[in-house]
Amino acid sequence: MDEDAAESVANGSKPGRPRGDTRERIQAVALELFAEQGYEKTSLREIAERLGVTKAALYYHFKSKEDIVRSFTEDYVHELDALIAWASDQPLDAKGRAVLLARYSDIVSHRIEVMRFLEHNQAAIDQLLREHGGHDRKKLFREQFLALRNLLTPPDAPLRERVRATMAIASVGLGCMLYHSEVSDPGELDQVILDLACELAGVPAPSAAT
């Protein structure tokens, strides 16, 4: 099967869609199955069946379910790294910090199923990343968390300000994790979480800051 044919099959026989869209579709379906029946009990064949493609077509993009897990974990990591790099070059006044929180909230909301998967499969993911020379998940996410906190308030700021910044960052992930499955309007939840995160950080909500 050549590249174009494999791409069309994996897209549901709809040629012309970008490869990134196919990759995200595979990741989304895999996450659905992992959530439904567990990571260990899910096979590449079942992922292909849910997608409605042959295993060979899926194999063109990912050689194993472990490859799929590494892909969405690395995508999430890269998005956070890109946000930190962007914010490091910005004048982080009150408006800038509000924008930082808004962008972070968007990433978390978009990647909530990835976060949920990482939370529920910590041991398996840590082993997988170690075996394949990947990141130390706990160390990496802690470093990113601290980088975001330090962008909201300097490391030498008074304790109260550092705690406020820490709680603002943590509230985004916790709010999404705890309430995402309970609401009928995710957009409303996202706005509530962002408003509260900004309140905790002591910055105006984006609607007032922009």
15 vs 124, higher pLDDT: 124
83 vs 134, higher pLDDT: 83
pLDDT of residue 124: 73
- Could you tell me if 133 and 37 lie in one domain? no
- Could you tell me if 38 and 100 lie in one domain? no
- Could you tell me if 152 and 198 lie in one domain? yes
CB under 8 Å to 63, separation ≥6 — which residues?
A: none
Mean pLDDT of 95-123: 92
pLDDT of residue 22: 87
| Domain extent at residue 85 | 66-209
- Could you tell me if 152 and 84 lie in one domain? yes
Beta carbons within 10 angstroms of residue 3's beta carbon: 9
Residue 17 has pLDDT above 70, yes or no: no
Mean pLDDT of 162-186: 94
Task: In whole angstroms, give the CA distance from residue 26 to residue 109.
Answer: 19
136-167 pLDDT, tens digit each: 666 778 899 999 999 999 999 999 999 999 99
pLDDT of residue 2: 39
Residue 54 has pLDDT above 60, yes or no: yes
